[in-house]
Structure 1
Amino acid sequence: MNRHRLAEERSIALHGAVADRLSDDGAVLERARTRVHKWLETDEVATYWAQEWDRVLSKPLAEIQAFLVERSEHATALRQMTPFAGAIDPRTRWRIWRDVRQTFEQSS
């Protein structure tokens, strides 16, 4: 089993769930923007990553949603330092983890 690929598939699935929530709950996006602005103010996260997330989160909602599940190297890298931590409740997160693993194992 390729654990890196499994981790990436889980990340895409989790961010897909976040993308779905963005349409229904604007507070999720506002919390992410607030977190990124804090990163920029405090240097809590490398400036490059904070600036990139700031750029992404300033786009229209549909573009943000598309980026969250994009399979580019850039999106993959940014998802590793996501401002959406905590946006998905633990039960849903674990269900996604389990489902992705099962799908991944069946396709391998």
Structure 2
Amino acid sequence: MARPPTGKAVPPAERMRRYRERRRAVGLRAVTRWRPGTPSWSDHRVADARSLALHVLAARRIAAEPRLLERARATVARWVERYGEQPPTALREWQELLKRPWQEVAARATELSDDAARLRQSSPLATLLSPAERRRVHDAFRA
């Protein structure tokens, strides 16, 4: 909104008072606490649960087809190579973890801890699922 045609500057307090009057006139009120109208995708708990579901599904697939573990190792190696000398810590952790027996890897990937949730954010295991499997899990969490 432009200044009044009088050429006089309106003090900030007066501008704010006018602004609030205009808002009240159209029925708007001050918001004292934000509440989402619908669940949003930015809710970290939903994202963590979805990630856990993806990893449980991936763990089941690897248990049925152990050769998939080699694909996960190759994926991490490719990601580490892409970063060069300074790969992210999580990728180095995945490299070390994937050298262990599958039962330990599965237990760590599906663990209910903050550290496991952090690792799942950069996991090669979700890449082992087909697009249809990933879509099915994502759709289940859209409700």
Q: Same fold (TM over 0.5)?
A: yes
Partner of 1:59, secondary structure, is: coil
- Coordinate RMSD, CA, aligned: 2.0
Q: Is 1:18–2:74 an aligned residue pair?
A: no
Q: Alignment length, in residue pairs?
A: 102
Deviation track 1:30-85 (CA, whole Å, cap 9, x = no partner) reads: 01101212233331683412210011111111111111111212211111111124
Instruction: Identify the residue that residue 105 of structure 1 maps to in structure 2.
Output: none
Unaligned stretches of 5+ residues in structure 2? 1-38
Q: Is 1:81–2:81 an aligned residue pair?
A: no
Instruction: Identify the residue that residue 53 of structure 1 maps to in structure 2.
Output: 94
Instruction: Identify the residue that residue 82 of structure 2 maps to in structure 1.
Output: 42
Cα 1:21/1:47, change in 2 over 3 Å: same
- Opposite residue 49 of structure 1, the aligned amino acid is A
For normalisation by structure 2, the TM-score amounts to 0.63
For normalisation by structure 1, the TM-score amounts to 0.80
Unaligned stretches of 5+ residues in structure 1? 103-108
Larger mean CA deviation between 3-12 and 25-34 belongs to 25-34
Structure 1 runs (4+) greater than 4 angstroms displaced? none
- Opposite residue 81 of structure 2, the aligned amino acid is E
- Opposite residue 114 of structure 2, the aligned amino acid is E
Instruction: Identify the residue that residue 70 of structure 1 maps to in structure 2.
Output: 111
1:101 deviates by: 4.0
Q: Give the structure with the higher percent helix.
A: 1
Paired-residue identity, %? 35
